[in-house]
Structure formats: C-alpha cells, structure tokens
Amino acid sequence: MASDSSVAASASPTARKSVLLDVEGAVIEEFSGDCAGSGYPYLCRHVRERLVAEDPRLLTHGGLTIRTTIDQRLQRAAQQAIDAHVHRDDPQIATQVMIVPGEGAVRAMATNRGAADGPAFRQGTTAMAYTLTAALAAGLRHDDGFLVSDQYRPQDYATFKDCAGRAVGEPAHVILNLEKNGDRFVTLRSGTRDVVNTFYMRLEEKVGLCETVRMAERLGLRRADGGPLRELEAFTLGIDEVDPVSVANSYASLAARGRFCEPTVITEIRDGSGASRSFPPRCRQVLDPAVADAVTGLLSDALAGSALKGIDREAAGMPGTVDAYVAAWYAGYTPELASAVSLGDPRGAFEHDLVDVTIGGRHYPRVDGTSVPGLIWKEAMTEAVRGTPETGFTRPDTARFGACRDACPN
C-alpha cells in the first residue's frame, strides 16, 4: 500500500502530477482533469465535478493528492460483473455504483465505457420504493391493498396534485401492467413482489403524489440534470432521468434505517505544499427507523421471490423496468452495502430502446430490470460481500406493520 507521503513524494515538483488514491491510500491512477483516457472514467468525472464545485482553480493545479472512498476490491467486483454482460464496444452503457449505508462513502463506480456527460436514464420501477415508504410512513400495513385490474386510468385531473396544489392527473393516460393477471386484490406485499404498475398507481393516489415526491427527495433521489423531480402522476413508475449514485444512495438511506448521508467520493485533497481540505460525512435522520425496516422487509421478500435471490447475505432490492423498455435498472442493498445498476443507450432512449437487442454478445427480445442489470447487481454484490462479516436487517415491527388495517380484502 502506498502512503500519502510516498505518493506526495512521487508527485515531484517537476512532474507535478496529481493522483487519485483509494480508501486505503494506494494509488488508483494519475489525474489530469481530462477523463477521456482514464481507466476509471465514471470515477474521474465525479472527481472532476467535485473539484469544480469546491474550487474550479483546483483543476489547474498540479501535484494534488486526492484521497477517494473507492475500495479497489469492490471496484473490481463491479467492473468484472459489468464486463461479463456488456461489452466495452456495445452502444449501450452499463454503470454500477456501490455506497456504504450510514456513511455515504462511494466504494465503486464502474462502467463498460466512458461517456462525456455520464449515464442518466429514466429510473423505472425502482422508484416504487419511495411510494412504498410514503405509504408505510402514512400508516398503511404490509397486507393493506386494493382491487386492481391490468390497466389504470385516473378518474379526473384532480386525482393527482403536485406540491403546489395543481391538478396533474391525466385521464387520457392509460397505464398497463407488463403481465396480465386480471382483476384481483393486490397488497403492499404482493404488489411489491410482483412489481404491479396499476397497484402502485393506486397506492400513489392514496398517499399523495406530493408526499411520494417529498419522500424520494428526503431519501436522496436527485435528477441528474440538477433540476427538480417531476411531479407527475407516473412518478412512481420512475419517469425522472437519474444517475446510479442518486439511486444507490436513496436505497442506502433505507438500508441505514432512515439515515441519509450525502454521497461522498473525495475525503481529502492535499496540494504540493501539504495543505489539505477534508470532506467529512454529512448525515441526518430523515425517516423513522421502524418505517425503513418495514420497507426493507417487503423489498427483502421481493428479492427472495425473484430469480436473483441468493447472494449469501440478507438482501433487499427492486428491479427497474422502464416504460417501453427505454432503459433498465436494478437497485438493492445488504445491511452494509447499497448498489444500483443502470443500462441504457446514450444515443437516445426512445430511438434506441432495449427491445430486440444484442448486448454482451447475447440477444434479448427485451431487457427488463431482472435481466442484464439484475445479473450484474447479483454477481457484483455476491463478490463484494465475500469474506466480510455477516450482519442482518432489523425485523419489521409486526404489531405496527403486520396484517392489514383499513384496506383489507372483503
């Protein structure tokens, strides 16, 4: 392992090379601010953005020693899982981020290839977790539910109101389920396990669009372009373009029992003179821990009932299938590590969707959240937890969240 002093010495006054260090102090690579030739393009871009936000002059300085939160073992696990399913020369971009719950430390940022503006795709059904959280925070229980069909249409414009009180429902907009199962009673438990679009529209209608959006913000969801989240009726189906850091971090808030931390990639910047700036964690409690535990209970059931079960740890997660298959995601967590994987085509999602495509040398009639992104997530997380101490989730309070309360089947 290289020490800070040895790295600083290697960045001689004549060379004035800046370097990135990992969490242990070992050199990752040189850093020039130009990420085109970086072996870690996604990480490089985030470091560059953080330096610009801190002080744009830092990009013109040589001899910086930039200590990051990256764990190179986890970085390799994420990269190898991506490379196993998406080729470096595929037009699609796959990206994975791993974050430590309760700290916000980004441990891995991997992608199959660099991108000028980074990956930002519609989030898809991984956004259902925010509606679920808002519902449980409002007092609903695991087995509360509704009678739903395979299509949903709001009754009128006022069915959904944004946080300014404006009616944003669209009665002409019909939302369909991917799988047709007819009219049936669906609960929070079964609707989450089966990722039922029409159920989640009913749930968002019940708890409120504004309440759902605000919950997502509290947990850490941010649009990739820095703008506000879109307060539209289909919010629960993931209509916002987001990046994997934001999605992984919002799930990390659930893993940390409602403790949100700003995602951190840099912990310290030291210049050639030895002067340093540090970046400590910034965290706050944003959710009742018991509510977070109740969400985790259902997301654990969802993962355990899917083809992705079995990473040799207690784990929770949701697939992110996007309308019209314009992108795909998977997001989930263990008690110690949260991760999100995105997949899409930067040439234009609607012009280049994930239908009838060949990715990683394999043909897919369509790509949903449990296929390519889910497999990347499972393989990377299985390797990431290997050899680490095993911990478990806090069990949901069944007296508070078990059975049903006021939305029970007849």
One domain for residues 135 and 52: no
Report the pLDDT value the prediction gives residue 115, as an integer from 0 to 100. 60
Is there a domain that residue 186 lies in? Answer: yes
Q: How far apart are CA 149 and CA 185, in angstroms?
A: 9
CA 184, 189, 195 angle in degrees (round to 5)? 70
Report the pLDDT value the prediction gives residue 178, as an integer from 0 to 100. 87
One domain for residues 196 and 325: yes
pTM attached to this predicted model:
0.93
One domain for residues 23 and 150: no
Is there a domain that residue 92 lies in? Answer: no
Domain end call among 68, 85, 105: 68
| Tally of domains within the chain | 2
Is there a domain that residue 374 lies in? Answer: yes
Report the pLDDT value the prediction gives residue 32, as an integer from 0 to 100. 87
Is there a domain that residue 81 lies in? Answer: no
* Residue from 314, 325, 304 nearest 372 by CA: 325
One domain for residues 165 and 309: yes
One domain for residues 141 and 246: yes
Domain end call among 68, 86, 108: 68
One domain for residues 125 and 33: no
Q: What is the largest CA-CA distance in the chain?
A: 79
One domain for residues 247 and 333: yes
One domain for residues 215 and 335: yes
Is there a domain that residue 409 lies in? Answer: no
One domain for residues 153 and 5: no
Is there a domain that residue 367 lies in? Answer: yes
What digits encode the pLDDT tens for the residues 155-188? 999 999 999 999 999 999 999 998 888 999 999 9
Q: What is the CATH number of the domain that holds 230?
A: 3.40.710.10
Is there a domain that residue 323 lies in? Answer: yes
One domain for residues 236 and 302: yes
Per-residue pLDDT of the chain (410 residues; tens, 9 = 90+): 344 444 443 434 444 789 999 999 999 999 988 888 899 999 999 999 999 988 888 888 789 999 999 999 999 999 999 999 999 999 999 999 999 999 999 999 999 987 645 568 999 999 999 999 999 999 999 999 999 999 999 999 999 999 999 999 999 999 999 888 899 999 999 999 999 999 999 999 999 999 999 999 999 999 999 999 999 999 999 999 999 999 999 999 999 999 999 999 999 999 888 889 999 999 999 999 999 999 999 999 999 999 999 898 999 999 999 999 999 999 999 999 999 999 999 988 778 999 999 999 999 999 999 999 999 999 999 999 999 999 999 999 999 999 998 778 87
One domain for residues 57 and 143: no
For 314: left if phi > 0, alpha if psi spans -120 to 50, otherwise beta; the answer is beta
Report the pLDDT value the prediction gives residue 208, as an integer from 0 to 100. 98
Instruction: Give the range of the structural domain holding residue 294, as residue numbers without chain letter.
Output: 121-259+284-401
One domain for residues 149 and 26: no
Is there a domain that residue 83 lies in? Answer: no
Scanning the structure block, which residue is given the tokens 């009838």?
Answer: 356
Q: Which helix (H) or strand (E) holds 190?
A: helix 188-193
